[in-house]
Amino acid sequence: MRPRDLSDHVEYRAGRGIEEVARELGRDPEEFVKLASNENMFGPSPAATEAIEASADEVHHYPTADHQDLTAALAEQWGVTDEQVWLANGGDGALDYLHRATLEPGDDVLVPTPGFSYYGMSARFHHGDVTEYDVSKPDGFELSAERVLDAYDGERVVYLTSPHNPSGGRFALDDVERIADETDEETLVVVDEAYGEFTEAPSAVSLLGERDDVDESHSSASRAPRDDVAVLRTFSKAYGLAGLRLGYALVPEAWADTYARVNTPFAASFLACRAGLAALEDGAHVERTVDTARWSRDYMAEHVAAPTYESHGNFLLVDVGDATAVAEAMRERGVIVRDCSSFGLPECVRITCGTKAETKRAVRELNEVLGE
């Protein structure tokens, strides 16, 4: 007995953790700071921590009511119906649900390269195939409607990451709308806004409702409901709940009865729902996180002695020449950054926005490494 042929599947490579690196080097974990996985520099909301602790003795219950409560809270926040909120085990779980709802064997998805490898992994798990559009370094990782539409060839799902990982760039909302308007009626445009809290750009959630439907034969426009855009969001970044694996998709209203047919039973855990509800109410924690990330981005861009790229996420991409060598040297100095060779960018490292002290330390150590 053998597993099915998985030779076309690309492994997802996560950033290495402090404990792992410290064991490898035989050093105290307290010596290290991890700026490799775009995690929240302040940890979870204290309100979320309290909710987890208070709920620990209730984990023998299935999260029926909690699932409904979090769904309703998110629907109110985004101005959509409860049925448009698809809770999931992380944003990657929401990807799986969207693929279950859309892909037939042999359907293609269009994904950015470099980009989040799980877009393609999930599509292949669901017997789809993958085509790519380039987000290229020579063009400054430009994200535009033209770039996507030039590569588009009738794919069933098109992925737009905004802000984009690892470059930090973003799509203009007008470009997202143009892509949705100029792709086929049976194409779903998925806008991954995992880093959405860190950008001042408007969310693509506004495109889930009515949009102008232009009749080219009469040069007129009318307002009509559209069902071709979905948005992904997560509690992993700004809310600091990466370890609980809580994400969601916001989908067209016409998809109201689909979620129950594609999701796993109790898609988000009891503790994740409780923590998510508490985190939503702690706006001060999110504001502090976002403000510090913006300060950190600006500080790094100004003080790093290497070319950087404009970022709207909680990280900065830096062109260091030899990413592996620099990442290893930084690790020896106690700062873990992301070697972007796995993204196909062997010249670049990605540095997560840390606290002010962590950011200054990372810049100081990086500049010393680059000056050696």
One-letter amino acid for residue 26 of the chain: G
Of the candidates 119, 114, 170, 108, the one whose C-alpha atom is nearest the C-alpha of residue 145 is 170
Predicted TM-score (pTM) above 0.75:
yes
Quote the pLDDT of residue 266. Answer: 82
**H-state helical runs in the chain:** 18-25, 46-55, 64-78, 90-102, 118-125, 145-151, 173-182, 259-262, 270-280, 283-303, 323-332, 356-371
Contacts of 7 (CB under 8 A, 6+ apart): none
Distance CA 236, CA 38 (A): 9
Inter-axis angle of helices 270-280 and 46-55, nearest 10: 150
Collapsing DSSP to helix, strand or coil, 338 comes out as: strand
Q: What is the mean pLDDT of each run of 10 residues along the chain (372 residues)?
A: 75 74 78 92 95 91 87 96 95 95 95 94 92 93 96 97 97 96 95 96 90 53 73 97 96 90 88 96 97 98 97 98 96 95 95 98 97 80
- CB-neighbour burial class of residue 128 (10 A; exposed 0-12, middle 13-18, buried 19+): buried
Strand partners, 351: 316
Are 353 and 195 in contact, with CB atoms under 8 Å apart?
A: no
Are 143 and 170 in contact, with CB atoms under 8 Å apart?
A: yes
- CB-neighbour burial class of residue 283 (10 A; exposed 0-12, middle 13-18, buried 19+): exposed
Quote the pLDDT of residue 214. Answer: 52
Quote the pLDDT of residue 224. Answer: 60
Strand partners, 317: 350
Quote the pLDDT of residue 68. Answer: 92
Instruction: List the structure tokens of 201.
Output: 């750009």
Inter-axis angle of helices 270-280 and 64-78, nearest 10: 30
Strand partners, 224: 211
Cβ atoms within 10 Å, residue 106: 9
Burial 10-49 (b: 16+ CB within 10 A, else e): eeeeebbbbeebbeeeeeeeeebbbbbbbbbbeebbebbb
